[in-house]
Structures are given as C-alpha cells and as structure tokens.
A = this chain, B = another copy of it.
Amino acid sequence: MASKENIHPQRTPIEKIGKSKLIERLLSGQDNSLCDNVSSYQNTGGSLFTSHTLLLEGTDFNLVYNPIKHLGYKAVITSLGPIYASLHTPVAISVRVGLSARFFTEDVEELWEGMSAAMREHNIEVSGVDLQPSLTGLTISVSTLGKQQKELFVQRKKVVSGDLICISGSPGAAFMGLQVLEREKRAFEGKDGLQPKLEGYKFILKRYLSPELDKTLHETLLNNEIIPSEGEFIAKGLSDAVKRVCHRNGLGAQIYLDKIPIASQTFNMADELGIDATTAALNGGDDMLLLYVIPLSDYEKLSKELPALDIIGHLTSAGSGTMLVTPDGTPIPLKAQGWSD
C-alpha cells in the first residue's frame, strides 16, 4: 500500500529518536513556540473563540494523492477558518497526531513542515504537540484559540432577516480538484513510475491540496467599518454553512444560483467528468472559504471596498426555509449532508 503514497521514502523509526526528542526537534525550528504541552496564555480581556478539528485518514484525506506536507498545511488552515469566520485572530494552536507503524520520523517532519508554514503565515504560537500510536493510519486533531478585542464584540449588530450573505471565493473548486486527483489515481493504479496528468488543473488542484486562507480579509472589513453580524467557515459545502448560520439564528435564507462565483475550471472539469457544477459548489466540501453575514446597510460600502467578497444571497424569516433560487426565480430547498430537512 505504501509505495504509491505521498509519504517520505527515508524511514527512521520514531522509537529510534524517541518521541520527546522528536517533538523537541520539531519545535526547535519554531521561533514562536511556547512549550510542549503548556497552553497557558495571559488574558487581556475581550472575547475568546476555540476551534477544534479532527481529520481522519480515508474519510478526510487520502495519502495517495495528499502529499503529507500539504496535508499538514491544510490541517492548520482547517482549524483557523472558524476563528477568522467569527472575526477572531488566531493566537495559539495545539496539535495531536495518531500514527500507525507505516509512518516514520521523516513523515512527521514533513507533516510538521506544512503545519509550521501555515502557523508562520498566520503568526500563531504553538501551545502543544503530541504524537501517539495508532492502529489505523494517520489521525490529526488541531485545536486553536482565537481572540477578539472587546470593542468589536460590543459593536456587532444582531443577525436579522435581510442581512447579506457573502463568500470569500469560489465554492466547488476544491471538490473538482479532488475529482481530478481521484481520476488520475484510478487511471494510474498499479502503473508505477507513470506521472499523473495534472497540468491545466492548477487552480482547482491548489484549492484542494493547499488552500490558502486570506488573513487580511477580516481586517479589511473592520478597517472599512463593516462588521459582519455572523460568520461561518465553509468546509463541508456552502449549503451546510448556510444551514448552520440559519439554524443558529432561527432564520431562513435565499441563495441566488447565478450569484455564486463558480470558477471556469470548476465548470470545465465538471463538464468533462459529467458532474453537476452546481452540486459541487453547494455540497462539494473542502472549500476552506469564509462566509460572512453583513448588515444590509453596509451594501454600498461592501460593493465598493471589498471585491474579495461576493454577495450571493440574504437571510429571510425562519418560515421561508433555506432556499436556492434558480436563474428563472424558482426557489428549491437547499440540501446538505447530515441535515434531515
């Protein structure tokens, strides 16, 4: 199984170095580490937000097409999303990794390389790292603490019907990137030495493999005195994110299909594979985009100052449900995995 996986060819057993020494070695490259397993911070007032993620091999990622370094990067990004979505700034991160006997020191180092790249980009301290044995492949859990200044919390308006729903990028692109990788995996299965054909799909592949998260977006919002009343991280599909916001606030929503910024590579690849691009955009997962709910009164400012955000719909009263409005004006109930309505 291991030969075609994106894990390191060199193989030093972790026991040879010792877990504690290995963790020390990982942290030594880090100029922003607090201390292994000490997660204490001075608290300066304001609001706190914790984000907590669990990534399981086989369901959340596949090492046949996820290079382990990219996976590390993406695991951290996945944890930061909810922090930014809630208008907090990430400050400290803790990582727990379960490793089966198929993983070696070099794999852990590559995973960490990706993780620390994301941590540096977002200027976060490491509050804890631990490695533990697993019978069943790779498991990654990340927990992140974010802070928000008191002033912001006080200024936020109540979420109301009519608020605008905005997103920070192109949903469905990551899902289509994954489809490219899965198609190439099937095509090359058993044919060692052949390189998969991935040219021409750069944008959608990057959205799946190492999606970046715009840390300046919420600062730009605040600098323009636009304070979202709500936010959500789009990681399990746009529909799921919209439903979460509605559920939390006891409201409904209308999303306009022709306002969703679906990328041309997403359309092209969907055509090629006979997949519906709209379904990919609504339920694809792995988008790693931010959804903000913004008061209607900020509409002008938003259109002028924030090209990075697309307005795709608005909140409605609870009774109206969560609907997708097709270009001809027909409302269809939004579906999402894990939601029974």
A binding-site residues for B, Cβ under 8 Å: 17-21, 35-54, 56-60, 82, 86, 88, 92, 94, 96-98, 127-128, 130, 132-137, 139, 141, 143, 145, 147, 150, 153, 243-244, 247-248, 337-340
Q: A41-B47, A43-B46, A86-B40 are in contact. Are A56 and B132 (CB under 8 A)?
A: yes
In the assembled complex, how far is the CB of residue A120 from the closest CB belonging to chain B, in whole angstroms? 20
Once the chains bind, are B139 and A54 in contact (CB under 8 Å)? yes
Once the chains bind, are B139 and A56 in contact (CB under 8 Å)? yes
**Which of B38, B45, B338 makes the CB contact (< 8 A) with A20?**
B338
Q: Point out which of A127, A134, A338 has the most chain B C-beta atoms below 10 A from its C-beta.
A: A338
In the assembled complex, how far is the CB of residue A19 from the closest CB belonging to chain B, in whole angstroms? 4
Q: What is the chain B residue whose CB lies nearest that of A53?
A: B96
Once the chains bind, are A43 and B43 in contact (CB under 8 Å)? yes
- Which chain B residues border A58 with CB–CB below 8 Å? 134-136
Q: A38-B248, A54-B132, A136-B136 are in contact. Are A43 and B96 (CB under 8 A)?
A: no
State the CA gap A19–B243 with chains docked (Å).
13
Once the chains bind, are A96 and B50 in contact (CB under 8 Å)? no
Once the chains bind, are B47 and A338 in contact (CB under 8 Å)? no
- Which chain B residues border A38 with CB–CB below 8 Å? 86, 248
Once the chains bind, are B36 and A40 in contact (CB under 8 Å)? no
In the assembled complex, how far is the CB of residue A24 from the closest CB belonging to chain B, in whole angstroms? 9
Q: What is the chain B residue whose CB lies nearest that of A91?
A: B48
**Which of B52, B60, B137, B338 makes the CB contact (< 8 A) with A39?**
B52
State the CA gap A136–B59 with chains docked (Å).
10
Q: A56-B132, A339-B18 are in contact. Are A43 and B35 (CB under 8 A)?
A: no
